[in-house]
Structure 1
Amino acid sequence: MSWLQLQSGFGLLALALIAWVVGGCRRPVPWRMVIAGLLLQVALGAALLHIPVLRAGFAWLGDAVGALSTATQAGTSLVFGYLGGAPLPFAETRPDASFVLFFQGLPLVLVVGALSAVLYHWRILPLVVRGLSRLLRGAFGLSGACGFSVAANVFVGMVEAPLLIRAWLARLSLSELFIVMTAGLATIAGNMMVVYASILSPVVPDVAGQLLVASLVSAPASVLVGALMRPPQPGADQQVLVAEDALAPRLYDSTMEAVVRGTADGLQLLLGVMASLIVFVALVALVNMALEPITGWTLQGLVGMVFRPIAWLMGVPDEHIPAIGASLGIKTVLNEFIAYLELAGSGGLGLDARSRLILTYALCGFSNFGSVGIMLAGMTGMCPERRSDIVRLGMPALLAANIACCMTGAVVGLLTYPQ
């Protein structure tokens, strides 16, 4: 084992300690949760990264993403012409000069949204989520509703997963509510996973499988960090026990309805992503216009400085720490979409293969200010009686989710030998 791997292992333990310290709660943390959280992250990562059969599945996932991208381009070319990827009626002056994100990249959300709805209707997605839920409940002792929501976050968004347990949200303990919120911000939805895989494929090998592993490992990481920052209160936490079938109700009457409604939901997400990108990039630009002449720093640059020690804890070589800290700052202040675009557009930011992989894992989560607003609006609408708790836990959940994502980066650093 190399020094950098040992550095990642130390960083994994240090991040757990940081989570406990910044949580500010001095109630005893159940050792079962701490040990299970650390072991489950490493075991999942080791199995998915180093077992040949599972590794072979990464290549299949990459082919599937490529097929989805090609199929989507057929539709966008028909609707948008050369803006959507059809042959250009003019000479391209530089590589990728004709790429328009809204017309060529984002429509993939529509196709994946429809496919996700069909897989849910066919009971394939609930079956996979139920298996992950049982694993989390057995390892951490979570209630059925909390475990199901955390597992669902591997595949659906930060609002959709709590929506699946809407009837039980009001009965969750404060600790489990915090875990649900942290998991929502520490993972990404399946449709965005496919979009990011298509963007990152030139700079990260087997990226579709890597993003899936990152989201899977982040599930136990978010439970661990959530429990460290908000430990369960003995005797006060309620175990919300529900029938598993009730946690995945049938949402569609037919496959065709699933396609139509899944497409509509995907359109809403696509427009939301577009609006968020425009608004948050504009707002940060305004802040930077005021901040940079006075301090010489941008907002994301300042936040990136805070992440530099965290980058070291993930096991990154010293020469790559500034670039990775800056990228994590962009993710937190803006969003992971822009951070991934920069990673892909600059040829990997000059990082070596291991550092690019660590950064890919650490960026794999909705842990940014805009997502907190989206989650708070969605969850308070679902459960108005817990509005004060949900709003109070919003910013701590953002901090917890960023720690969980960096834990996931440390895990892949621990398991990947430097080249």
Structure 2
Amino acid sequence: MKYLIAMLGILVVFGLTYIASSDRQKIRYRPLVTMVILQFILAFVLLNTVVGTFLIKGFSNVFAKLLAYAGEGVNFVFGGIANEGQGPFFLNVLLPIVFISVLIGILQYTKILPLVMKYIGLVLSKVNGMGKLESYNALASAILGQSEVFISVKKQIGLLPKNRLYTLCASAMSTVSMSIVGAYMQMIDPKYVVTALVLNLFGGFIIVSILNPYVVDKEEDILTVQESEKQSFFEMLGEYIMDGFKVAIIVAAMLIGFVALIAFINGIFDGIFGISFQQLLGYVFAPIAVIMGVPWKESVDAGSIMAIKMVSNEFVAMLELGKQTAMSSRTIGIVSVFLVSFANFSSIGIIAGAVKGLNEKQGNVVARFGLRLLYGATMVSVLSAIVAGIFM
């Protein structure tokens, strides 16, 4: 039964994406079929094989060690501030982002990361049938982050037509940055984080190829990665330390605001209508949860968490998921995969602002197709959750 529901879900996602396509005549089906098959293979390997278990365990162990090292720095500054046996969310989950950011900075400074991203991007372009720039950007978004990635291609931002700019922005919203992966792994099962990272990369290519199809001429397909300004090693360290700290503070501020706002709105709805705002959103999103493979009896609760992710962010939704005690492990897995992306309303402003900082005209273009951007990124999350659910 779950296979029939999964097939129905995939058809619904493709149908909804096809309806909203900007140019159906330009859709190329061969790369699509290849990437869908790749998604199935990768999901199977990661979730149902010894090799996948080994890879995920290795990946999560690396982050566990990195978080332990980060904890040394956090404890040195904040040791004793928490009650014994308790770990504040900000200290244990968000502040380690600073250390992960530093490691990314070192890999950038030593030219290791740009080289890896550039050549893996070239290989991906052969699979997805898209431009080298689009392929590089999708991979870079998953490592650098949804705003920082545009700096690496800022020379080309002002030269891009609307359709190519949309693809770059959709990739940034469909993935998550490596600097906060460790934080996710402390909130949900690492295997779902790793699975979502891989599936979203190809899912982004699949959805954009239907929603926003185009062909890039070889003359236009030039990949020029922006070199960072020459800095000393310690200048770079200071910059990435502060960047990581800013991310932690911003996420903390958004959590305070969104969690409080949702509680406030829940109180109003409960007092007037006898049903919380979260429950209401749950009923709206329940059909989407069902086509993702969630049983109907759990669909309202799952839909509520999915909706919270869209209207606030994935951190708030992951906190809500952690409170669920009655959900089956399969439902938790499916919803977890859905949550691992930046597909929410606040990301529209973040991405538009990042592009506008580099090119004001193009930033205004991004702001105009913001809702379409969220639509595409949400389809990517739904597709990844469906494919992962087949192997749970």
Q: Give TM-score, length-normalised by structure 1.
A: 0.85
Q: 1:198 aligns with which of 186, 191, 199?
A: 186
- 1:46 equivalent to 2:35? Answer no
CA 1:219–1:252 in structure 2 vs 1: closer, same or farther (change >3 Å)? Answer: farther
In the alignment, structure 1 residue 273 sits paired with structure 2 residue 251: yes
Partner of 1:336: 314
Q: In the alignment, residue 182 of structure 2 is paired with which amino acid?
A: V
Residue in 2 that maps onto 1:71: 69
Distance 1:297 1:108, change over 3 A: same
Q: Is the 8 A contact 1:299 1:333 kept in 2?
A: no
2:385 — aligned with what? 409
Distance, in Å, in 1 between the alignment partners of 2:277 and 2:23 is 30
Give aligned-pair identity as a percent: 23
Deviates more, 1:9-18 or 1:150-159: 9-18
Assess, with a 3 A threshold, how the Cα gap between structure 1 residues 162 and 240 changes in structure 2: closer, same or farther: farther
Partner of 1:368: 344
Q: Using a 3 Å threshold, how does the CA distance of structure 1 residues 309 and 297 change in structure 2: closer, same or farther?
A: same
1:256 to 210, 234, 246: 234
CA drift of 1:103 comes to 2.6
Give the 3 Å change call, closer, same or farther, for CA 219–274 of structure 1 in structure 2. Answer: same
Deviation at 1:158, TM superposition (A): 0.9
CA-to-aligned-CA distance 1:376-418 (integer Å, 9 cap, x gap): 11112222122332111111111111110111011111233xx
In structure 1, the residue matched to 2:121 is 133
Aligned mates of 1:4, 1:45 — CA distance in 2: 15
1:137-183, Cα deviation, whole Å (9 max, x unpaired): 11222222222111112222111122211111222232222222222
User: CA–CA distance in 2 between the matches of 1:289 and 1:109?
Assistant: 33
Please state how far the C-alpha of 1:109 moved relative to its aligned partner.
0.8
State the match for 2:100 in structure 1: 112
CA distance 1:259–1:290, shift in 2 (3 Å)? same
Whole-angstrom distance in 2 between the partners of 1:349 and 1:367? 25
Residue 241 of structure 1 corresponds to which residue in structure 2? Answer: 221
What amino acid does structure 2 have at the position aligned with 1:225? I
2:193 corresponds to which residue?
A: 211
List alignment gaps of at least 5 residues for structure 2.
none
CA contact (8 A) 1:66 1:198 kept: no
Q: How far 1:291 sits from its partner (Å)?
A: 4.3
Length-normalised TM-score, structure 2: 0.90
- Flag the 1:9–1:415 CA change in 2: closer, same or farther, 3 A: farther
CA deviation string 1:265-303 (max 9, x = no partner): 101111211222223334444544554444444444333
Counterpart selection for 1:187 from 175, 178, 189: 175
Query: Which of 50, 54, 57 is the equivalent residue of 2:55?
Result: 57
User: Per the alignment, do residues 238 and 174 of structure 1 end up closer, same or farther by CA in structure 2, a change over 3 Å counting?
Assistant: farther
Q: CA deviation at 1:9?
A: 3.1
* 1:32 equivalent in alignment to 2:30: yes
Distance 1:283 1:380, change over 3 A: farther
Partner SS state of residue 79, structure 2: helix
| Alignment-derived partner of residue 91 in structure 1 | none
SS of 1:280's partner is helix
| Aligned 1:117-196 pairs, distance under 5 A | 117-196=105-184
Residues in 1 aligned to 2:156 and 2:243: alpha-carbon distance in whole angstroms: 23
Which residue does 2:89 correspond to in 1? 101
Distance 1:414 1:83, change over 3 A: same
Residue identity in the other structure for 2:197: S
Give the distance between the partners of 1:33 and 1:174, measured in 2 at CA. 22
Distance 1:10 1:307, change over 3 A: same
Q: What letter matches 1:103 in structure 2?
A: L
Letter paired with 2:331: S
- Secondary structure, aligned partner of 1:199: coil
1:279 maps to a residue whose letter is G
